[in-house]
Structure 1
Amino acid sequence: MTTSLITGGNKGLGRETARRLHAAGHDVWIGARDEQAGRATADELGVRFVALDVTRQDTIDAAVATIAAAGGLDVLVNNAAIADGMATPFVDTDVAAMNAIMDTNVLGPMRLAIACWPLLQASPAPVVVNVSSSLGSLGRSTTDPELFEHGYLPVAYPASKAALNMVTVKLARALPRARVNAVNPGFSATDLNDHLGPLTVEVGVEPIVQAALLGPDGPTGTFFEAEGVVAW
């Protein structure tokens, strides 16, 4: 059976990803900082819970040890993320808050990838999915003034997702046997954006699930959404 770990899996896109992968036959682990919420979600979905804060190496090491002892890992979905306000102009950026965003959204997936490295190497068909955003696309943010991404004011969240895209490329090269991809779920209604997104999580989760279910012949080192490839 394919075993999957989803960070930030107790709500939003992470929860729906867990539900979908469980329905597809995966042995799913939900990783979450909030133990009560994480366990409740895991019980509701019929999956497993592991305490995991992507900014704390001790919880990452403990979580990976628990999953290893249970049999290993095939699919890592780096979903956990935080964001700043949606209307903060560049000059008003809180650099300390930006540091926290980068720690969660970029270094978090890096920590997980490094900690899970031995398990992914041992898997017959390893997969890593980095949940990115079109806001991290340099192409969309710089080329067309009519695009939403071009007019988005804050810098911290887009910068973190652009950096995560580079992590994706480098990890794909470092793990050539794995399928490592960044995906854009679109502007989905979640706690991250105060549920302002026009897409439901059921719609937004589609490219995440697609990437998680890729076989050994699937693409790697790419950035895509439900409609196709996203420009870096």
Structure 2
Amino acid sequence: MPPSPRTPARLVVLVSGSGTNLQALIDASTSPDYGAEVVAVGADRDGTGGVARAERHGIPTFVLPVPDFADRASWDAALAEAVAAYDPDIVVLAGFMKLTGPAFLARFGGRTLNTHPALSPAFPGMHGPRDALAYGVKVTGATLFVVDEGVDTGPIVAQVAVPVLDGDDEAALHERIKSSERAMLVDWVGTLAREDFHLDDRAVRLGGESHDH
């Protein structure tokens, strides 16, 4: 019988910007039945709104600007160490604009979640809403996935569809996607925290792995 997940599960959230998804996770975690709590927030640059939000809630923070390190490998190793210090069950990249590397994935691969503002595998990369508009699709959306070494290529946890409306520009479409993305993130982080999860090839399965350790 695998051990049941820790309750509440420990979340470390990494941010690069204003932290709206972080705020949604903090708000959700105030409910005792959510099953997860944000134990630390990290950023890749100074002055982010996400770190300011964490500080207002008394959540520990750390900042690791890439230019402070000799190379990306050194930064990646330092990020892994900083996150490991908080012993997370799940790491959430909430608008974190840097790709994690091998040292980080060696520690937290299979436990790190990210979102993408498109229905993967369509429109990967930095401009999902713009690319969806340019292609002329009628439905796009958002994807929650387990991070791997690729760009928006990891095993998919959940997806939500968002219609493309006549007259949409990139900003309007992206705003609607972000709203759906945020709700999906909060819902599924809670589910994964309460029930635990593991990877079965590209399938994300709820519950711990059945083999004994």
TM range, smaller chain: 0.5 to 0.7
**Aligned partner of residue 42 in structure 2, secondary structure:** strand
**Cross-structure match for 1:11:** 18
Deviations 1:175-210 (A, max 9, x none): xxxxx63655969xxxxx657644386653111122
The answer as to whether partners of 1:9 and 1:80 remain within 8 angstroms in 2 is yes
1:152 to 2:156 alignment: no
Tell me the TM-score normalised to structure 2 length. Answer: 0.53
1:46 to 2:34 alignment: no
Deviations 1:2-32 (A, max 9, x none): 2222222652443334424542441332222
Structure having the larger proportion of residues in helix = 1
Structure having the larger proportion of residues in strand = 2
**Cross-structure match for 2:157:** 181
**Cross-structure match for 2:76:** 60
Which structure is higher in RCO with an 8 Å CA cutoff and minimum separation 6?
Answer: 2
Q: Where does the alignment leave 5 or more consecutive residues of structure 1 unmatched?
A: 83-103, 140-147, 170-179, 188-192, 224-232
**Cross-structure match for 1:29:** 40
1:150–1:43 distance in 2 versus 1, CA, 3 Å: closer
**Cross-structure match for 2:113:** 129
The answer as to whether partners of 1:10 and 1:31 remain within 8 angstroms in 2 is no
The answer as to whether partners of 1:5 and 1:31 remain within 8 angstroms in 2 is yes
Number of paired residues?
A: 162
- Written as runs of structure 1 = structure 2, the 5 A alignment for 1:182-201 is 183=159, 197-199=174-176
- Written as runs of structure 1 = structure 2, the 5 A alignment for 1:69-108 is 69-70=85-86, 72-80=87-95, 104=98, 108=99
**Cross-structure match for 2:3:** none
Name the Cα RMSD after superposition.
4.3
Tell me the TM-score normalised to structure 1 length. Answer: 0.50
**Aligned partner of residue 130 in structure 1, secondary structure:** strand
Percent identity between the aligned chains? 14
Q: Distance in 2 between matches of 1:194 and 1:203?
A: 15
1:216–1:81 distance in 2 versus 1, CA, 3 Å: closer
1:63–1:211 distance in 2 versus 1, CA, 3 Å: same
**Aligned partner of residue 153 in structure 1, secondary structure:** helix
Q: Where does the alignment leave 5 or more consecutive residues of structure 2 unmatched?
A: 1-7, 124-128, 144-149, 164-169, 205-213
